[in-house]
Structure 1
Amino acid sequence: MYHKDKPDGSPYDQFRTYKIKKGDTLASVARDLGVEADELRWYHNMYCEIPDLIEADFKSSSEFLILAPEKYIEERKEKEKKKDQKVSLASNYRLPFAADKINESYRVKYTFEISDQIDVTEMAINVKWLATDKNRYSLFEITRSKTIHVNGLPPQFLIEKLGAKSAEVVYPLKIVVDKFGKWVDIFNYDEIESRWGKIKNEILDYYEGELTEVYIDHIEKNLTDSDTLLRSLRSDYFFRTFFNGIHVGYTADYLFKNEVSFPLEEDEEAIFEVTQKITPFLDEDGFIKVDQKGVYMDSGLGILYGYTSSKVNYSAVYFLNSETYTIEKMNVECNILSNEHIKKTIEIKLLE
């Protein structure tokens, strides 16, 4: 059925093609090949020469139909099959949290926009499950790569270099996560505290000046005790978004309303009224899609921030593996529409 003996110099040599015969129509060929007619037309028109474009049907001059590679067709069929597959939840419509399935490395991208200025920080972070106790609290180890890029380059400024170096104090970090996938505590505070002496000496050997002293003082205050360190790290967007507690019970309509806490400023929490929902069917890539969309709840603190509820919004979208319910990729945005438009974004995606 496939025509392989194309004339020498044919512009379609690189493609798999079908030789159009007398009496063929787009619909009849689609039926014979087991492919949707619109799919055949779409792929052919992407790669054919302009005179060979297919409109409603083949032209009288049409000789060849460009076909998608067999692998491509199978992948499209598999995606369509998954797209019609309903999301499977546990009892009481709960989204399962399979902590023991998590041992992945992610590319993490932070973007901070204020007016016309944009700063982007990128790194790799590994999340590894270690154990789960009888109360279904799980222990995870978080490690962060030493390679960090700020606006596409290694740290250039002193504050950036100090930030990258001081992160070595925290990692590896062991945290406790509850049965809903929400981060609740730090497990290895003593280990982190013991690392500080060595890292502090290395910082003082490489850097000096007032800014370095202020930075060291700030770190030592955060290391006062486990609770203080926990409060400090709660402003880290990775932990707050990755371990956000989305693995909870939903309604029969796959949604519910909830309150989500998120740091608008360092060490300053804001509360958002959020509609949280699961798309009932897997998406075209076979992922479970979870959306959170919320508006700022002004509980009086808004006066301090200078924000109003109508000018601050929060949105998050998670794409989960349909078999393990683990995060494949996600995106969280917080917009602050004040005198200066502020937008904070974190994107997390599995490293290939």
Structure 2
Amino acid sequence: MPPKYRTYKINEGDTLISVARALGITPQEAKRFHNVFSSEDDLIDVDLPSHLRTLYVYPHIYEKVGDNPAFVKFNYGYTLRFKPAEKPLNYGVMYTISSGEKEENTLKYRVRVTFVKQDEKGYVFEINRLSKTYVNDEEASEIADELAEKVSGAVYPLEVVIDEDGNWMDIANHPDIRKRWKQVKKRIFEEYDGAWVEQYVAESEASLVDKELLKKSLSGDWFLAAYFGQIYVDYTPGFVFENRVSFPVVPFIRPVKYTVKQEVKMLLDEYGLVQISQEGSVSDNRSKADLENRQNFPHDALLDPDSEKAEGTYKAKYFLNAGNNLIESLFLECSLQLEKRKEIKVVVSLLEDK
């Protein structure tokens, strides 16, 4: 059980403002937390009482002289925020997909995440594919896979706008994507022909040239869904809270919602990393039939309140750099029991600099 508080020794000349600044919190936070645990005689009003020698502070805060790097450093209160990295981060990404009794398939590729700028909309990151996608350790060979690979050449590099919670909100370079698509489409028709190819290109174009449709399409990207998850949030004094996360288990529809117990470990792990875990089950308002029929809204569930609920589990572990709170690796397992059980595993690992 984590401690309820730590103590800070007040020295001569300390004020509420100077102590709060030393601890990296606001005076209001210092006052509010201390007053929860102090006696009536030691309550803080406008400033520190002249007789006060001990201040009660958040459990993760410690005096500067005794700074302990084994503790997670929150930004303020129990809020965890990321700090953009100065250099690009290269990751290896692997998906493992299984459906029913079918043999598992794996997809692998490498991706680069680069901080571009911060503006009034949020943080802009560039996502760029560094390699082709390998299916079961082989390059894509089916025509559909080859076309998908070529279409992705128009999407990447992709610039996404991230809010301070780490959730991706918008596409910053959509005009560039539209321009690239013209060249990609031309090359596709130079290499392939046939009615099926024309239909594939037309469907791809519809989702690429319209920004909102592209955002909807990218909401089904497993890397974006996992990497820009809800981990940079306000935690509780117990470092655990209930959260709702979404993941695109079923293609072409709104991601499925899961209710999870989310926890950040107070201590860094043996490698000096921040650990965050999420574990829970399906809590979507759509029924099993709704999801089976790829409905965005609870059509069947509203018609029949007793309709069978969808079942499934969600587990994720994140390991963050303790200096900037950016992801070094993540492991995610997500399942959904429909007519056939569907399971997706995502592994993202920071690659060593060469």
- What TM-score do you get using the length of structure 2 for normalisation? 0.72
**Aligned 8 A contact 2:111 2:131 in 1:** no
Pairing 1:195–2:176 present: no
- Determine if the alignment matches structure 1 residue 208 to structure 2 residue 208: no
Q: Deviations over 1:74-108 (max 9, x none)?
A: xxxxxxxxx99222212120112112456201001
* Matched position secondary structure for 2:249: strand
Q: Is the 8 A contact 1:277 1:290 kept in 2?
A: yes
Q: Is 2:260 the counterpart of 1:274?
A: yes
Pair 1:117-2:103 in alignment: yes
Maintained 8 Å contact 1:102/1:326? no
Identity among equivalent pairs (%): 29
Aligned to 1:299: 285
Aligned to 2:204: 219
- The letter for the 2-side match of 1:345 is K
- Counting matched residue pairs gives 269
Q: Which moved more, 1:271-280 or 1:332-341?
A: 332-341
TM-score (norm 1): 0.72
**For the structure 1 residues 259 and 102, does the alpha-carbon distance in structure 2 shift closer, same or farther, using more than 3 Å as the test?**
farther
Could you say which residue in structure 1 is the equivalent of 2:42? none
From the CA coordinates, give the structure whose radius of gyration is larger.
Answer: 1
Report if the CA contact (8 A) 2:287-2:310 is conserved: no
For the residues of structure 2 that align with 1:197 and 1:134, how far apart are their CA atoms?
A: 30
Aligned-partner residue type, residue 157 of structure 1: E
Tell me if the contact between 2:249 and 2:335 (Cα under 8 Å) persists in the aligned partners.
Answer: no
Tell me, yes or no, if the aligned pair for 1:101 and 1:324 is still in contact at 8 Å. no
Letter aligned with residue 304 of structure 1: D
Deviates more, 1:317-326 or 1:215-224: 215-224
Distance, in Å, in 2 between the alignment partners of 1:105 and 1:143 is: 9
Distance in 2 between the 1:340 and 1:164 partners?
28
Deviation per CA, 1:135-177, whole angstroms, max 9, x where unpaired?
6x10111110242211111111111111111110001111100
Distance 1:323 1:123, change over 3 A: same
Counterpart residue number, 2:57: none
SS at the partner of 2:90? strand
Contact 1:276 1:292 in 2 (8 A): yes
- Give the C-alpha shift of residue 224 in structure 1: 3.7
- Please give the secondary structure, in 1, of the residue aligned with 2:138: coil
Matching residue within 276, 290, 307 for 1:290 = 276
SS of the residue 1:246 aligns to: coil
Unmatched 5+ stretches in structure 1: 1-82
Partner of 2:149, secondary structure, is: helix
State the 1:308 CA deviation.
Answer: 5.6
Partner-residue secondary structure (3-state), 1:258? strand
Aligned: 1:350 with 2:350: yes
Q: How does 1:117-156 map onto structure 2 within 5 Å?
A: 117-133=103-119, 137-156=122-141
> Is the partner of 1:217 in helix, strand or coil?
helix
Asked if 2 retains the 8 angstrom alpha-carbon contact of 1:255 and 1:276, the reply is yes
Mapping for residues 11-90 of structure 1, pairs under 5 Å: 85-90=70-75
Q: Cα offset for 1:314?
A: 1.3
- Distance in 1, matches of 2:133 and 2:93, equals 10
Distance 1:158 1:250, change over 3 A: same
Give the counterpart letter for 2:115 in structure 1: W
1:105 matched to 2:90 = yes
Per-residue CA shift, 1:233-272, capped at 9, x if unaligned?
A: 1100111111113111100111111111221212322111
Q: In structure 2, the residue corresponding to 1:265 is in which secondary structure? A: coil
CA change 1:228–1:310 in 2 (3 A) is closer
2:162 is the alignment partner of 1:177: yes
Judge conservation of contact 1:261–1:272 (CA < 8 Å) in 2: yes
Tell me the residue number matched to 1:38.
none
* CA-based RMSD: 2.0
| Residue matched to 1:318 | 318
Moved more, 233-242 or 85-94: 85-94
Paired residue type of 1:211: W
Consecutive unaligned residues in structure 2, runs of 5 or more: 1-67, 293-306
2:229 maps to 1:244: yes
Tell me whether 1:331 sits opposite 2:326 in the alignment.
Answer: no
Aligned-partner residue type, residue 345 of structure 2 = T
Counterparts of 1:249 and 1:314, CA distance in 2: 21
